[in-house]
A = this chain, B = another copy of it.
């Protein structure tokens, strides 16, 4: 079902990791799930890189395999799909969250999503092969991976319930409660799309009918 990718030194080219970039936010994040040893910190330092991506750039586009996962130190990104001409926003992620195409990442196949920076963003990136090797070498990290994906799974469950039996207004209210930090940083159209409604409807909801 899932293709295992073996780790070899070769994949570390062409960019060599820098060994003194600041991955503190990532470590702190992981510590909320598992204890983090010095040894693991060193490994994470080795396999990660820091990138600053300016607003409006794409980390991923359809037809390509997503080989990296991104931990967001600062900034805001979205994942969306296209249906004909329309962009349908699947998700947003901001500081302290992860963003990637899990689908592409896990199956090692192309995914037809777009990942775009909505703000200039500072990201800690990890290449999938290196991450898998880290999972193999540090069982506690494998556990972290399980916890993290479980957390996202539960959030998705809530979203499904919400889409299934809450009205547009209820969904908007839920978003304002649970994603305050993103609310005023998002273009109306994208938020509407994420909520499964048109931007006109969202505008009317905001106006209070």
Is A20 an interface residue when CB atoms closer than 8 A count as contact? no
**How many residues from A make CB contacts under 8 Å with B?**
36
List chain B residues, Cβ under 8 A from A153. 102, 149, 152-153, 156
Nearest-Cβ distance from residue A52 to partner chain B, whole angstroms: 28
A142 with B151: in contact, given A81-B161, A156-B160, A165-B83 (CB under 8 Å)?
no
Fill in one digit per residue for A143-163: 1 if any B CB lies within 8 Å of its CB, else 0: 101110111111011011101
Nearest-Cβ distance from residue A89 to partner chain B, whole angstroms: 9
Fill in one digit per residue for A32-68: 1 if any B CB lies within 8 Å of its CB, else 0: 1100000000000000000000000000000000000
Q: Which of A86-128 contact B (CB under 8 A)?
A: 86, 88, 90, 102-103, 106
Contact check: which of B150, B157, B164 meets A163 at CB < 8 Å? Answer: B164
Nearest-Cβ distance from residue A9 to partner chain B, whole angstroms: 23
List chain B residues, Cβ under 8 A from A86. 165
Q: Is the CB of B150 within 8 A of A102?
A: yes
List chain B residues, Cβ under 8 A from A149. 146, 149-150, 153
Contact check: which of B88, B103, B143, B152 meets A164 at CB < 8 Å? Answer: B88
Nearest-Cβ distance from residue A88 to partner chain B, whole angstroms: 5
With CB as the reference atom, state the residue of chain B lying closest to A166: B83
Q: Is the CB of A156 within 8 A of B154?
A: no
Nearest-Cβ distance from residue A179 to partner chain B, whole angstroms: 16
Q: Is the CB of B103 within 8 A of A157?
A: yes
Nearest-Cβ distance from residue A100 to partner chain B, whole angstroms: 12
Q: A residues engaging B (CB < 8 A)?
A: 1-2, 32-33, 81, 83, 86, 88, 90, 102-103, 106, 135-136, 139, 142-143, 145-147, 149-154, 156-157, 159-161, 163-165, 193, 196
